[in-house]
Every structure is written in C-alpha cells, then in structure tokens.
Amino acid sequence: MIIDSHCHLDDERYNDDIDAVIERAKEQGVEKFIIPGADPKTLARAVELAEKYDEVYFSVGVHPYDAKNYDRNYLEKYVSHVKCVAIGECGLDYFRLPESEEAIEIEKKLQKEVFIDQILWAKELKLPLIVHIRESSVDCLELLEKHAGEDGGVLHCYNADESLLKLSSKNFYYGIGGVLTFKNAKKLINVYPKIPNDKLIIETDAPYLTPHPYRGKRNEPSYTKHIASKMVELSAIEQDRLESMTTNNTKRLFTKIR
Ligand SMILES: [Zn+2]
C-alpha cells in the first residue's frame, strides 16, 4: 500500500478522466492521495474531490509562484475542513526570478513574507507544512529553523541539497518523486541514502515530474510504483517493507489521515 502524498488532482488536466486516474492508482496499490493546495483558484475543486472520494485529502496554501495572490482570509474557510491535513504547498522558488536586481529583491521579499506567514499559521493550527524548495535552500533552511513548529512537514521538490537534512531532527520529512528515476539525478541519488528511513515519503507531484519510463507524458499517481521500485533498488529493502514504511511515515506526519 502506498500513499501519494503530493498529487495535483485538482489540475484541469484530470477533469475528463479523474475516476479512471484514481481507479488505475488503486489497482497499483495507492490507497490515499493528498492534493496540495497551491493555487487558490483550484482549491474548491480539491475540496470537491476530497468530499467525493474517501481516499482523497487536501492541504491549504499558496505556492511561491502565486505569492502575490496570498490571502489568508480566503484560505481560512477551507482550513478547518475535516480532510484538510496540512498547510502548503508554500516555500521559496528562485528558479524563475525577474531580470532586474531591484525586481529580484522585491520578489524574494514577497515570497519570504508569504512563506513565513504560512509557517506561523501551521504552527498556530498544529498542522504540518508542505514545503516547496527550488534554488532556495539557504533561505528556506533559515526560515524553517527560525519559525517552524513541532509539527514539522515535508520538503517537496527536494533538490538534493544535503544541508536540508538537518531539518530531519525538526520533524521534517523528505518527499521522493519521479526525479529519483531520471538518468541525470546523480545529486539526489547521492543524497538519498543519507535520508533517515523514517523520514522518507513518496510523492508524484502529478501532473509534473513524470518518472521514467513515462517521462514526457502527463504524470499520475499510479506511477508511484516506479518511484517505489527505484527506492527499493537504492535502499536494499524489499518492496513490501518500503511501501509500508513510507506509508507509516506519511501517516505519522499527516495525523489527520484516517
Ligand atoms: Zn506540487
């Protein structure tokens, strides 16, 4: 049994075949799904899916790309929902920054403010965080060490930066996705064995980051099997044990999952 801890099933690319996507995943042993709230525009869709399917959960937050649309008042009405399991995905993303020095400063400042507000909100509600980190390890580490509460969270889009392993002692987990199956993922493959076993969780980030051998196609939760197989290869433990271990880890972090 596997939990896909990060799949954007509220994305419009699933509008036409969501039932089949969930069915295919269940046939591959995926028992639960978490839709990370990234874009307030699709949050209503995430809630609709969580109310329709027992297996689907969601979180509430704003992705760094959308930082300018952050509005805690708007998100507040969703956060107390019984199936809202976390705050996020929030974080910092310095991959796509504007051109001028001045605009970069403004963008980074905005992303940090919005990220800190979500970290503090999670602490207040005693919920874990789903954190997006891209080209921003130093700043993310600093903000999480300074502000995060005891409920920790998961580092998604984990760009294999060893310095982030420090956060495992602050109850942070590491979301492993399709990148692990890529031929050019040397950095992640080197760091992977250093992640404590009890801090590994599985995520597809569907519809993005499709694992090998489906790269180029739309990603979906049924492909978690390919991520798990690669983890088995690198961990030297059996598939069944890896699946139950990561599922238990995911449930330990997201305590609202039933
Ligand atoms: Zn995501």
234 within domain boundaries? yes
36 CA distance to ligand 1 middle (Å): 7
Residue 62: inside a domain, yes or no? Answer: yes
Q: Hey, which bits of the chain come out as E strands? A: 2-4, 30-35, 56-60, 84-93, 129-134, 153-156, 172-176, 200-202
pLDDT exceeds cutoff 80 at 222: yes
Give the domain extent around 155: 2-253
Q: What is the pLDDT of residue 156?
A: 86
Measured between alpha carbons, how far is residue 193 from residues 28, 32, 171 in Å? 25, 26, 18
Ligand 1 mean position, distance from CA 112 (Å): 18
Residue 258 lies in a domain: no
Place of tokens 């609709």: 48
Total count of domains within the chain: 1
> pLDDT band at 157, cuts 50/70/90?
low
In this predicted model, what pLDDT tens digit does every residue of 101-134 receive, in sequence order?
999 999 999 999 999 999 999 999 999 999 999 9
**Cα of 10 from ligand 1 centre, angstroms:** 11
Here the CATH number for the domain that contains residue 9 is 3.20.20.140
Surrounding ion ligand 1 within 5 Å at CB are 205
Task: State the distance from the centre of ligand 1 to the C-alpha of 175, rounded, in angstroms.
Answer: 11
